[in-house]
Chain A
Amino acid sequence: MSRSPTAVAQRRIQSELRDWLQHPPDGCKLVQYEDLRTWVIQLLGPESPCQPQLYTGQTFHLRILFSERYPLEPPEVTFLPPSPVHPHIYTNGHICLDILYDGHNGGWSPALTINKVALSLRSMLASNTDNRRPPGDADYCARMRGRSPKETRWEFEDDSV
């Protein structure tokens, strides 16, 4: 009686898509979803409540890749270049945010949705005042060339930025 994970993923993605198209989150626009497994979301740079305004007026593109085990497994979420300059976002688009990863220190939950993920990322940008890349950015990008951010062992120690 157990459904195959692919069918579950398929149906769940369809429901999310339906939901998204009816109530898209603020500042986000789905620009590509023909292949149900790959979405591209256009993210409008949020207005920051504090100075300096780092992202106002810019647009970024998020790529979402759903695996067959979605939603038990988190989707792979990266910024398509050019990625926003942020102490938790690498030049290659990899994002250090706990809800994007599972495992023992990851914060992914199957009850999260792309809608919520997109909102979290926007608020992550909105609250940032530090116009820098993460330390070791160049090294990391060279090492990770072409690989998934899921292969990285992330340490999510800093929630303030």
Chain B
Amino acid sequence: MSDYGDSDYDMGGSDAYSSGGDDFSYSGDEAEASSPVAKGAKKSFVVLDKEELRERLGAGVSQVVELLCISDAEATRALRFYKWDLTKLQEEWFADPEAVQVKVGLVDEQPSTRRKEEVCKICFESFSVQDMACARCKHYYCKDCWRGYIHTSIESGPFCLDLRCPDPECKAAVPRRVITAVVDAAHQERYDDFAINSFVDDQRQIVWCPAPDCQNAVMSMHDQLGVAQDIFCRCGNAFCFNCKEEAHRPVDCDTVRKWMIKNSAESENLNWILANTKPCPKCTRPIEKNQGCMHMTCSQCRHEFCWLCEGSWAEHGERTGGFYNCNRYKRAVDKGEVDEQEQRRQHARQSLERYMHYWQRWAENDTSRKRALRQMEAFKSETQELISEYTATPVSQLRFITDAWMQVVHCRRILKWTYATAFYAFADPVNATKEAKARLAQHQEFFEFNQGQAEHYLEKLHGQVEKQLNTFVRPPPSPPEGEAAAAGSEAAGPSGRDQQGWAKFREQLIGLTDVTRIHFEKLVNEFEKGLDEALKEYDVPMAQASTSAAAATAAAAAAEEAAAAKAKAAGKAPADSRRITRASKRRQGPVDQEQAAIEHEAGYWQCSHCTYANEAMDSQECELCSQPRGATR
């Protein structure tokens, strides 16, 4: 998806999820609930459970059996040899069938024995040929010996899939019918599992879901493997197809790996250092003060200083308050100068602080995501029933709440990774030109603005679903007695007022879920497209955007006008007509004359908060987000 124009706003028809392939059933509520991805976005993966994997494997094998006229065992072996790549097998086979047969180890069909009895080459006893079995090589063994041979092989691991005739000189594959005829159920199951494992492990486009108890596999239809791809398994796990870490779009796998390594190496230490130490004012080595007076001597550079004001100890003494106090520090606090000192100290450990800044936000969003996930589970298992009862709404119609929770979980994860990526993407460039630095600053501003926007709606949505929802987890106030009598039953629905509040809550939550999703899709898409490209789309000349607030406002006004016109044509609310500079978002005060004229002409006013097009012209509150008209973000 490249465009989040106005027309996307109302997407979500019945076919919204359809592009994921026919077999990706989205009708199951688990599947849908666990995929808060863009409606209408291209789904390029299929979740396969064991049964589906078995079917696909079987279909692949039968295809080869038909195509090349070989046995199922040979087809399996050939496919395994070519990593289940049918096209490659086919190409090589038709180019030079004998070479493939030699490579894979297929043998020509030998004539059957004419005798009625044969000696089993394992137990050396004679059997009627009917009681024996053989591969294409026609080396006969009795069924008991076959069973022992195949069981032993299955017990020793996945190499049983390449099982050959027991004859040491013979390369013939043991056909499936021999295996199924002699092995017991437990061994058969293990054998099938090995085959499925091979089917998944040997193919680059299929991976197992890494969740601990999940047995599903996922097949990617992405044309490009080896890049990050978010996968939402039916078990609820969201992971990256490429690196198997948690899903992390729009961040690439390398950044995630770097970030995780950095975290595991530094976070614990850093937390402690920041909480418990100050850097030596001279050599900046962190110093822990665990006892004693304020007179510090750095163990490394021997610099003597005051712990409180961090000034040289030479300037301290009786007159500055002695060893346990510091008048200079007190005065500085009184005069408000301490901030400056604080700044100096921060400067000394700027890189640490910078990392901590991003890490904390990363970690907070992670915690928040996990909590949201638990809350969602709690909602599904406990609260849902209560709310259904108190608001007289069938559980099936409470899906919008789960959807909101899922959106929160999904967005928390995206947000979390945007902090990791920002840490690397906007690091102070070394030896960069002035222009490059300016462009980077502009990128950062643009990115942070979008991030801030997305975060803002997420916070709102999170608050709504976390707190507002709770107000409905209690019995509705019982109606006045007269009414109750009139209703004639205790189970009468909730009072009219409560019902109204509930309807409003529902509408708002659905709207907010949508708006949040749109903002996050935008954030992700712009980042993936490259910020340069994204900026271009706003049609704002770079220099202007960053240097002239006035020009930016003008450009933004033009963009807004264009968006409004488009929206009018489509008869829908513009999803986005946002400006890109902070200057414009600081615009305050009542709607000005010109604005009023435009709105009048358009026939709606646009909420400056959520961009919803309100058709009630005299209303002073947005219908969707309930923010006062003209309020700033």
Q: Contacts of B123 on A, CB cut-off 8 Å?
A: 8, 11-12, 71
B residues 162-203 in Cβ contact with A at 8 Å: 166-168
**CB–CB B168/A72 < 8 A:** no
Provide the bound-state CA to CA distance between A104 and B123, in Å: 23
**CB–CB A5/B124 < 8 A:** no
**CB–CB B148/A5 < 8 A:** yes
**CB–CB A72/B148 < 8 A:** yes
| CB < 8 Å neighbour of A8 from B141, B144, B159, B166 | B144
**CB–CB A2/B156 < 8 A:** no
Q: How large is the interface on B (under 10, 10 to 19, 20 to 34, 35 or more residues)?
A: 10 to 19
- A-B residue pairs in contact (CB < 8 Å), sample of 6: A2-B144, A11-B123, A16-B124, A71-B122, A72-B148, A110-B166
Task: Give the distance to chain A from B9, nearest Cβ to Cβ, in Å.
Answer: 58
**CB–CB A111/B156 < 8 A:** no
Verify if A32 is at the interface (C-beta below 8 Å from B): no
| CB < 8 Å neighbour of B168 from A16, A99, A102, A103 | A99
Most chain A beta carbons < 10 A, residue from B139, B141, B144, B157: B144
Verify if B471 is at the interface (C-beta below 8 Å from A): no
Do A3 and B168 contact each other (CB < 8 Å), given the known contacts A8-B123, A12-B122? no
Task: Give the distance to chain B from A100, nearest Cβ to Cβ, in Å.
Answer: 12
Number of A-B contacts (CB under 8 A): 51
Q: A8-B144, A12-B123, A19-B124 are in contact. List 10 more A-B contacts (CB 8 A).
A: A2-B144, A12-B122, A15-B125, A72-B148, A72-B152, A73-B152, A110-B149, A110-B166, A111-B122, A116-B168
**CB–CB A112/B168 < 8 A:** yes
**CB–CB B124/A3 < 8 A:** no
**CB–CB B124/A111 < 8 A:** no
Verify if B235 is at the interface (C-beta below 8 Å from A): no
Verify if B370 is at the interface (C-beta below 8 Å from A): no
Verify if B121 is at the interface (C-beta below 8 Å from A): yes
Task: Give the distance to chain A from B207, nearest Cβ to Cβ, in Å.
Answer: 24
| B562-603 vs A, Cβ < 8 Å mask (1 yes, 0 no) | 000000000000000000000000000000000000000000
Task: Give the distance to chain A from B154, nearest Cβ to Cβ, in Å.
Answer: 12
Verify if A109 is at the interface (C-beta below 8 Å from B): yes
Verify if B243 is at the interface (C-beta below 8 Å from A): no
Provide the bound-state CA to CA distance between A72 and B152, in Å: 7
Verify if A82 is at the interface (C-beta below 8 Å from B): no
In the A-B complex, the 3 residue pairs with the smallest Cβ-Cβ separation, listed nearest first, are: A15-B124, A111-B166, A110-B122
| CB < 8 Å neighbour of A107 from B121, B124, B159, B168 | B168
Task: Give the distance to chain B from A29, nearest Cβ to Cβ, in Å.
Answer: 22
Q: Contacts of A3 on B, CB cut-off 8 Å?
A: 144
Task: Give the distance to chain A from B163, nearest Cβ to Cβ, in Å.
Answer: 11
